[in-house]
Amino acid sequence: MKLDKILHVGAGYAVYLTVVPLGMEWAALATIVAAVGKEVYDKYFGGTVDHYDAVATVAGGVLAGAVSAAISNLLFSSGGAGV
């Protein structure tokens, strides 16, 4: 994976985790707006428009959501192994 895409994944991850205290829906929306907004910015201000950059950014948000849900499930679920 190219460094550019890794940075987009990281940005999506960061956006999601920054906004998730307001709710998962807001975090997902913020990640999508950031992804599309960056590509619109690139189009009008001389960057390289690449829809895969937006996909990578949203993928970072999805990853953050999955990881935070899994951690929350492990820490706060009732029953199970008694951990």
Give the start-to-end residue ranges of the domains of the chain: 3-69
pLDDT in tens, 1-24: 799 999 999 999 999 999 999 999
User: Alpha-carbon Rg of the chain, whole angstroms?
Assistant: 15
On whether the pTM is more than 0.85, the answer is: yes
What gap in Å lies between CA 34 and CA 46, rounded to an integer? Answer: 17
What gap in Å lies between CA 18 and CA 10, rounded to an integer? Answer: 12
pLDDT in tens, 52-74: 999 999 999 999 999 999 999 99
What gap in Å lies between CA 32 and CA 12, rounded to an integer? Answer: 8
